[in-house]
Amino acid sequence: MLVGVLLSSASMIGCGSGAGGTGSGASSEMREEGRAVFGTGGVRTGDASGRDSGRGGGNSGGGSGGNSGGSDGWAVLLEFVRGAGHEARAQERRRAWAAELGRGDVTVRGRESGSAVVLGSYRAADDRAAQRDLAMVKNLEVNGQRPFAGAYLLPPPAPPHEMGGRPEWNLVSVRNMPAGRTALYSLHIGVFEGRNRQRLAEDEVARLRRLGEQAFYFHGADRSAVTIGLFGEDAYGSRGVSQDVRALQMKFPHMMRNGSERMMTPEGTPEPTILVQIPR
């Protein structure tokens, strides 16, 4: 089973909407399905130019040595700064905490809702250096207080969205369309895998559009998804998905792999199409 966070961040979560879907009762299995196609659950940084201000400093000052995951790996979250002017205030906090810790790898990572002040960069959450640094900052005392007692490991940001050959058909672009400003969901009907997955997914969207369908594609890290339709808050009701969603599911009842193969559940039944959140 597969489907995922169209990233994203932020992260997108698959919403169960099979024939008996219950909307808000979407299962954790469906949420995991969403992550597999759409991304890692990270949030785009949007900081192509130096907001990660410690970049290039490596893990100096007693850092992680050979365990560095680059400037966009896992990191220990020290503080999250929100509100107006969060970028400048986060830089001030970065300088203060870098001096306090005596580390050259305290950086700022931009997020859609604010700025994260982080320590280090590690290949994985279970990296020994990551665990060592996390324990160190959680136990650090400053003026009799433990300012980082609630610190945790922040996952790496999701990769930039791959827009493909027809950006206007990319699900990421829906938010820029007049008809898509209030849209929250699209019906996920297929997955493309393999070497030519992006081209094949875009070809499938072109075919569906020639048939009059409102089709979109989304290129994830390992798979490309195809979705149909745009739905807002009324996609779910007290009795499950709306009539419009159910009608589209009747037309496209099963999730397809590479355009021709039905995807199957572990129980051996065809995988139903599901609603997924539109990435921001």
Could you report the per-residue pLDDT of 74-127, keeping only the tens digit for each?
899 999 999 888 999 999 999 999 999 999 999 998 876 789 999 999 988 888
The last residue of one of the domains, among 133, 154, 175, is 154
Given this model, what pLDDT does residue 132 score?
Answer: 94
* Residue after which a domain boundary falls, among 135, 154, 173: 154
Q: Are 75 and 41 in contact (CB under 8 A)?
A: no
- Whether residue 2 lies inside any domain: the answer is no
Residues 149 and 181 in one domain: no
Shared domain check, 246 and 209: yes
How many folded domains does the chain comprise?
Answer: 2
Tell me the residue range of the domain where 37 lies: 14-43+162-277
Residue 187 lies in a domain: yes
- pTM metric for this prediction: 0.53
Q: Same structural domain for residues 141 and 176? A: no
Q: Are residues 105 and 137 in the same domain?
A: yes
Q: What is the DSSP string of 20-39?
A: T--GGG--HHHHHHHHHHH-
Q: Are residues 20 and 100 in the same domain?
A: no
Quickly tell me which residue has 């009539």 as its tokens: 243
Phi-psi sector, 123: left (phi>0), alpha (psi -120 to 50), beta: alpha
For 239, the token pair is 């009795």
Say if residue 226's pLDDT is above 80. yes
- Residue 4 forms part of a structural domain: no
Q: Which of 91, 120, 154 is the last residue of a domain?
A: 154
- Same domain flag for 168 and 77: no
| pLDDT greater than 80 at residue 47 | no
Per-residue pLDDT reduced to its tens digit, 232-255: 888 887 778 889 999 999 999 999
Query: Do 108 and 241 lie in a common domain?
Result: no
User: Does 8 fall in a domain?
Assistant: no
Q: Kindly state whether residues 97 and 18 are assigned to the same domain.
A: no
Asked whether residue 166 falls in the same domain as residue 150, the answer is: no
Q: Quick one: 179 and 200 in the same domain?
A: yes
The amino acid that residue 166 corresponds to is: R
Mean pLDDT of 199-217: 96
Tell which phi-psi region holds residue 144, choosing left (phi > 0), alpha (psi between -120 and 50) or beta.
Answer: left
224 in any annotated domain: yes
Q: Is residue 56 part of a domain?
A: no
Asked whether residue 50 is assigned to any structural domain, the reply reads no
Assess if residue 49 is contained within a domain: no
Give the domain CATH number at 132: 3.30.70
Asked whether residue 150 falls in the same domain as residue 166, the answer is no
The answer on pLDDT for 59 being more than 70 is no
Together in a domain, 182 and 263: yes
- Return the closest-CA partner of residue 107 out of 146, 63, 42: 63
